[in-house]
Structure 1
Amino acid sequence: MTGVALAEELLLLAYDDETGKATMPRISLDLGMAAAVLVELALAGRVAYSDGSLVVADPTPTGEPIVDEVLARIAATETPGTPSSWVQRLRHGLRDKILGDLCRRGVVRDVEETELGFIHVHRYPTVDATVEEDTRRRLAEALTGGPVPDERTAALATLVSAVRMEPALGLTGAGVAEAHQRLEEIAGGAGFSGTVNLEDSVVRPSVALVVAALGRAVDQALGKRA
């Protein structure tokens, strides 16, 4: 694996660059990041979707500690788990691990503060904005009808839609609805929504099946949209 992980991209989109505070509900982001790690494994050819469950296709480590820890957990599970069960299992503690990794790499910094004299809180303002800038550029191009997204960007767009992160893209009012519609179109064009034959998908069928299943799992976990 090389480059920036999908879970890191989601997290950076969800945090305000200056205040370092999350701009969306914790549950939404945590579920999204759990799904993103699983999608990462699918992109790397390590997990697949089979008979309603996520299974290990290749147990070889990817070289990314957080991702490999999840791969090992799936491989060690005797009974295959559904996408819904895995996003629930993995979401706890994942955010802190990813934030810690981003801090060590100098992408964000950890600012600890005390509120009301005894409550310790942490903020994570951006130090190196280049990572998030690239993520926003790719999503902007996809939303404005630019080049056909590659499978990683298409998967990211699907996750953004599933966790209802459109406001984090700087959109309000009608722009949120328009962005959601475009994100769904991208997901459909990638074969993630079942509206396109997987042979015509812009991504590998094995990846499309995993992303589709995880997108549904997150959307169902969050309930009806407002």
Structure 2
Amino acid sequence: MSSVALAEELLLLAYDDETGKAIGSRIGLDLGMAAAVLVELALAGRIAYSDGTIMVTDSSPTGGPIADDVLARIASDTPHTPASWVQRLRHGLRDRVLADLCARGVVRDVDETAMGFIHLHRYPTVDASVEAEVRARLGKALSGDDQPDERTAALATLVAAVRMEPTLGLSDGEIKGAHQQLEKIGGGAGFTGSISLEESTIRPSVALVIAALAKAINQALGAAPRWI
């Protein structure tokens, strides 16, 4: 597995570096992060999408604590749909990812007290290199014609599904075009039905999981924003 998990990449994109506060839909981000953990497991060859449910194909640990906890949970539970799993996994996931990023010195926890007793946490960036690499990969994917690798294509698809384009540092006029390009990447990877899985450069087992998760997120979030 990559040293930086997809769920961490999504979170870093969604949090303002200076204020340490999340931008955009918090529920959308939580759903996207839950899906990202499942995508991570698919990329590692641990889960697959079959008969409408997520199933474990290899229960051996990946080395990622959060991913391995989710893998064990799926293995010990009855089969559930992708839509069910993203709802089940999103609760408490953000706190775990933030705690891990704090422990590694990527962000820091600023605990502020309001009204004398309400604790408000912000997570400004400490090590900007991690997020910079993520933005560079997405920027290359948005500006290039070549189909990106599996991991970047998966991230692009999740960003579009969660509707996180406003976090990419684009002007208002560029956001819609970015969404269309991200969807084009997902289509080219075989995630959204634009091409067949036989034509895709992504492993079919991975593509099926990502396609099902992207659909689940879109259904959960409902009507698209006006800029799409």
TM class by shorter-chain length?
A: over 0.9
> SS state of the match for residue 61, structure 1?
coil
Give 5+ residue unaligned stretches, structure 2: none
Structure 1: where are the runs of 5+ without partners? none
Query: Which residue of structure 2 aligns with residue 122 of structure 1?
Result: 121
Q: What RMSD, in angstroms, separates the aligned Cα atoms of the two structures?
A: 0.9
TM-score, normalised to structure 1, is: 0.97
- The residue matched to 1:114 in structure 2 has which SS? strand
CA shift, 1:118, in A, is 1.9
Q: Matches of residues 114-193 of structure 1 in structure 2 within 5 Å?
A: 114-145=113-144, 147-193=146-192
Mapped to 2, the partners of 1:125 and 1:55 lie a distance apart of: 37
**AA in 1 matched with 2:70:** V
How far did residue 52 of structure 1 move? 0.5
Given residue 215 of structure 2, which amino acid in structure 1 is its aligned partner? R
Q: In structure 2, what is the equivalent of residue 28 of structure 1?
A: 28
Q: Measure how far apart 1:117 and its partner are.
A: 2.3
Q: What's the counterpart of residue 209 of structure 1? A: 208
Displacement of 1:173: 2.2
Paired residues, what number? 225
Matched, 1:60 2:57: no
- 2: CA distance, partners of 1:134 / 1:203: 22
Cα separation, 2, equivalents of 1:121 and 1:172: 30
Answer yes or no: is the 8 Å Cα contact 1:48–1:56 preserved in 2. Answer: yes
CA distance in 2, matches of 1:12, 1:89: 22
Partner of 1:49: 49
Identity of aligned pairs, percent?
Answer: 71
| 1:198 match: secondary structure | coil
CA distance in 2, matches of 1:34, 1:71: 12
TM-score calculated relative to the size of structure 2: 0.97
Amino acid at match of 2:49: Y
Contact 1:32-1:163 at 8 Å conserved across structures = yes
